[in-house]
Structure 1
């Protein structure tokens, strides 16, 4: 890539960029798969021919399917989903004909390890939860519940397995759910942060979470149990992770060529939800 005048991004080492006046060409790499994009058609064609000379590879045309993520275009914008991935998951675990569920988890359900409760198949539990984690790229609606069931990977019980299967049944009902990326006329960065306090009954730890929005489109989301026990709700309301994410996105956008005139904003998560 350096031979063809590209430089490696400092924000993401799998991303290579080349600027030519007001035009930019991007190549992002994952093992032996790559995406080439940008607004410089001549440079894209030059890079493609150069790669064909250096390596045995083929062009699949416009992006339609990448790392089990389906990409579709319309006048509204770009849709991404993992419908085929969900169907394959249903078939693999023998739930293709299961009864769909309206919600991924019972409201206010608390999962924790109970003394004397019957254990579940640990290997099967871990495999299914791992597959659900990969779905979070396009299914933010299950991010919270997957985060809950993933905290009990070391010693799953029947109640935990039932919770996982409930998520699977919900996925069958919502196969058509997609994430839409559309042009909203701006590239404003917003980060929403939130945390509960001592929710986990097993270790009394809090869960921090954030999601980031760029130009009105969801970009990243995270939910993670804090490493220490917080003594107050104020200690649980840490915003460091959200701030770090905002700065990383800002740096990446600057490298691509989209500078931010204003600092990223941090709206109140609960106030936004209530409105």
Structure 2
């Protein structure tokens, strides 16, 4: 890709970019699957020709499915979701017929590691949580809940598995939820951030959360436990970004 005049992204080494004045072409690759996009149709056609000469490849046309992510497009915009991935996960865990939950995690859940509490199957817990982490790529609404249950993968107890099952029950009722990218005539950048104070009962650390919108569309989001203990709610908010 560098030979073709592309620059490797510093934030994601699988992403390659080429800019010509106001036109841009992007290629992102995962093992032997890749996506090519941009607003320079001539460069995209040229890049495909060069790649076909270098490798044995097949052009699958407009993007519809990529690594468990489904893509729907219209004249108004693009919608991405992981409905099939969710249904497969529910079937695998025996939760396909479960009763849906209204929220991904209860407020003031108070989850922590309790001394002497009954342990759950560690391998199964880690497997489900790992799949939930990947699912959060298109589901910002479960980012916080998944972040919480991820804290206990080293010593999962029954209460933690119950919380995981609660996330699955929430997904049962929201399997078609995803992210919509609308066609807007601006690229305004807006960011929101917040934090709780000492929400982690084990280490008394706070949890930060943020999301950013470009052109009115959600592009990044995160929920993460802070690295140090905040001594006040104001300090927790200050460290939030």
Secondary structure at the counterpart of residue 131 of structure 1: helix
Distance 1:177 1:105 in 2: 17
Give secondary structure in 2 for the equivalent of 1:222: strand
Q: How does 1:28-107 map to 2 (within 5 A)?
A: 28-107=28-107
**Residue deviations 1:224-260 (CA, integer Å, cap 9, x gap):** 1122222112221235x73xxxxxxxxxxxxxxxxxx
CA contact (8 A) 1:208 1:238 kept: no
Equivalent positions of 1:1-275 (< 5 A) are 1-239=1-239, 242=241
**RMSD across aligned positions (CA):** 1.6
Residue correspondences, number: 241
Instruction: Select between 184-193 and 134-143 the one with higher mean Cα deviation.
Output: 184-193
**Unaligned segments of structure 1, at least 5 residues:** 243-275
Secondary structure at the counterpart of residue 238 of structure 1: helix
1:122-165 deviation per Cα after TM superposition (whole angstroms, max 9, x unaligned): 11111111110111111111111111111111111111111100
Distance in 1 between residues matched to 2:162 and 2:17, nearest whole Å? 46
Distance 2:202 2:5 in 1: 54
* TM-score after normalising by structure 2: 0.93
Distance change >3 Å, CA 93–CA 23, structure 1 → 2: same
Q: Determine the C-alpha separation between the residues in 2 that align with 1:46 and 1:75.
A: 26
Using the TM superposition, give the Cα deviation of residue 171 of structure 1 relative to its aligned residue in structure 2, in angstroms: 0.5
Question: Secondary structure at 1:237's aligned position in 2?
Answer: helix
Q: CA deviation at 1:181?
A: 0.5
Partners of 1:21 and 1:169 in 2: CA distance: 49
Bigger drift between 83-92 and 112-121 goes to: 112-121
**Uncovered stretches (5+) of structure 2, i.e. residues with no partner:** none
Shift, 1:11, TM fit: 4.3
SS in 2 for 1:87: helix
Deviations 1:42-74 (A, max 9, x none): 221111011011001111100111121111002
Find runs of 4+ consecutive structure 1 residues off by over 4 angstroms.
none
User: CA 1:22/1:219 → structure 2, altered by over 3 Å: closer, same or farther?
Assistant: closer
What do the CA deviations read for 1:178-228 (whole angstroms, capped 9, x no partner)? 210012221111221111111122221111121111111111111111222
Q: State the alpha-carbon separation in 1 of the partners of residues 11 and 112 from structure 2.
A: 38
